[in-house]
Amino acid sequence: MTKAKWLALAILLFIWVGCRKNDPVPDGTDDYQAVRSPQLPDELFAYSTLEFPDTWLNDPALQLFGGFGSDIEVTDAGATLGRVLFHDPGLSADGTVSCATCHQQARAFSDPVALSTGVSGIPTDRNAMALFNFKYQRRMFWDLRTVGLENQVLQPIEHPDEMAMDLAALPAKLEEITFYNGLFEAAFGDATVTTERVASALTQFVMCFQSYSSRFDAGLEDGFIHFTESEEMGRDIFFNGETRCNQCHSGKNLFSTQPFVNGLEVDYAAAGDGGIGALSADPFDDGRFKTVSLRNIGLTAPYMHDGRFATLREVVDFYSDDIQAHPFLDERLSVNGFGSPGQEPYALSLTEQERESLVDFLETFNDTVMVKADWLSDPF
């Protein structure tokens, strides 16, 4: 090769490397601000006035858990800042990953893959959870290891496989980005960035993910007159006391604050993830996981803590035919039912039509408002 050709190749390589470097969102530089600056409404959205309907607030079962959410007060400016932070990949070490990368609004703030990938490219240990209705939840993660949403929200920023950002360096990084000055000032009185303020704003925003509008909720109001025959059959199967679905995924929020063993494995630790058992080393806790809400369940595939089931049909087939004889399988999933000792798994052997109906009914839990709400969307 001639000298000129070498030079041309070197220049091409230089340009190529240069371009690639600009691919991820560059952080804190003038370029970054020119390309990415949040589009926010002129008048702040009234986050502080968002509230659950009276039917929820007056529900005796939910009233018990109503104080479980964060004590942090939601202000319009605080949640607005939280909205920007939640959607900003600039919070990650290399400017490529935001909370919304793994918690996508259209999927009720979950991720359509079994395991997510963040900055490192190494898959997360578990399936990214859907995020909503934190007013009623105190314990976070599949194994409930963190108490309080405000104590959770900084963890993904630091986690090496999620956003991999050095928390100590985060305030200075954000203070460099001009649009954050005004947002912090509006939310907290001055432009100083601290990790506590970041946690507060993220908590305020995530507290605004409220999900209570679905075809199921409309049915509760109008006596289910708009349900199809199949959805009605599925509703009966869910509540009839034989499947006992509603004995764990219960009440208006279709969840439990108690973790349960639902029999995915005979021995979860041996299968690779002991859940709460991996923290307590108590065999009673092997495979005990958070009993997540079934709201939005048609939007949040794949399913279970490891995303093992790709579809709701696979979930229904599992509950019908494949529950494992775990030594501490919850009694509700055993032949004898709640209150009667014995861990022999029930075998529902649902018919084809019953399976389809149950899936159709589960789809009526999908939210119609939260997943499209402008005020929760990506402002960039």
Residue number with CB closer to ligand HEC (3 or 300): 300
**Residues 6 or more apart in contact with residue 216 via CB below 8 angstroms:** 364, 365
11, 42 Cβ separation under 8 angstroms: no
Residue number with CB closer to ligand HEC (77 or 114): 114
Residue number with CB closer to ligand HEC (58 or 228): 228
Shortest distance in whole angstroms from residue 373 CB to ligand HEC: 17
The token duo for 318 is: 């599992």
Residues in the chain: 380
Give 260's strand partners.
289
Chain residues in the site for ligand HEC (CB under 6 A): 97, 99, 101-103, 116, 118, 124-126, 128-129, 131, 140-142, 149, 152-153, 156-157, 162-163, 202, 206, 243-245, 247-249, 260, 262, 264, 289, 291-292, 294, 297, 300, 303-305, 315, 319, 330, 332-333
Shortest distance in whole angstroms from residue 31 CB to ligand HEC: 23
Residue number with CB closer to ligand HEC (187 or 297): 297
Rounded Cα distance, 6 and 240, in Å: 76
Shortest distance in whole angstroms from residue 59 CB to ligand HEC: 20
**Residues 6 or more apart in contact with residue 210 via CB below 8 angstroms:** 50, 52, 132, 133, 135, 370
Shortest distance in whole angstroms from residue 80 CB to ligand HEC: 16
Rounded Cα distance, 46 and 291, in Å: 32
Give 123's strand partners.
117
Exposed, middle or buried, 77 (CB in 10 Å: 0-12/13-18/19+)?
Answer: buried
Shortest distance in whole angstroms from residue 39 CB to ligand HEC: 20
Rounded Cα distance, 348 and 339, in Å: 19
Residue number with CB closer to ligand HEC (47 or 142): 142
Shortest distance in whole angstroms from residue 243 CB to ligand HEC: 4
**Residues 6 or more apart in contact with residue 183 via CB below 8 angstroms:** 77, 80, 81, 84
The token duo for 10 is: 């070197």
Rounded Cα distance, 64 and 56, in Å: 11
Residue number with CB closer to ligand HEC (79 or 163): 163
Sign of the CA dihedral running 256, 66, 102, 359: positive
Q: What is the CA radius of gyration of the chain?
A: 24
Residue number with CB closer to ligand HEC (9 or 108): 108
Residue number with CB closer to ligand HEC (10 or 244): 244
Shortest distance in whole angstroms from residue 178 CB to ligand HEC: 21
Q: C-alpha 104: how far from its chain's center?
A: 8
Residue number with CB closer to ligand HEC (58 or 311): 311
Shortest distance in whole angstroms from residue 363 CB to ligand HEC: 11
Shortest distance in whole angstroms from residue 81 CB to ligand HEC: 13
Residue number with CB closer to ligand HEC (99 or 177): 99
Shortest distance in whole angstroms from residue 42 CB to ligand HEC: 27
**Residues 6 or more apart in contact with residue 170 via CB below 8 angstroms:** 91, 157, 193, 195, 198
DSSP secondary structure string, 120-167? T-PBPSSPPPP---GGG--EESTT--EESGGGTTTHHHH-TTTT---G
- For residue 112, whether the previous peptide bond is cis, meaning omega lies within 30 degrees of 0, is no
